[in-house]
């Protein structure tokens, strides 16, 4: 991502600080990494499944994660 792009379109402003953390997961990733999504839900994280153009997980307006496996590096 260049310095001018943002992940803000995927996020809504938090209304209070007691709100559970929310992670947006790419719909294709949710199917292939079901254990990760399940583990996050067990940690009381709100998961939203959406089709993402960039990244596999969006954590904040400035942080997206692209999950890689060993096969990705071979």
CATH of the domain at 40: 3.40.50.10130
pLDDT at 14: 56
Q: How many domains does the chain have?
A: 1
pTM over 0.75: no
User: Which of the residue ranges 7-16, 23-32, 54-63 would you say has the lowest mean pLDDT?
Assistant: 7-16
Residues 6+ apart with CB under 8 A from 15: none
Q: Is residue 24 part of a domain?
A: yes
Q: Is residue 5 part of a domain?
A: no
CB 22 within 8 A of CB 13: no
Element (H, E) at 42: helix 34-42
Taking the CB of residue 60, how many other CB atoms lie within 10 A of it?
13
Q: Is residue 44 part of a domain?
A: yes
The mean pLDDT value of the chain amounts to: 84
Q: Is residue 10 part of a domain?
A: no
Domain membership of residue 24 as a residue range: 20-73
pLDDT at position 65 over 90: yes
């Amino acid at each position: 991502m260049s310095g001018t792009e943002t992940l803000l379109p995927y996020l809504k402003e938090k209304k209070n600080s007691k709100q559970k953390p929310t992670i947006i997961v790419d719909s294709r990733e949710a199917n292939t990494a079901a254990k990760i999504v399940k583990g996050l839900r067990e940690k009381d994280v709100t998961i939203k499944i959406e089709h993402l153009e960039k990244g596999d997980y969006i954590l904040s307006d400035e942080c997206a994660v692209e999950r890689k496996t060993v096969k990705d590096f071979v």
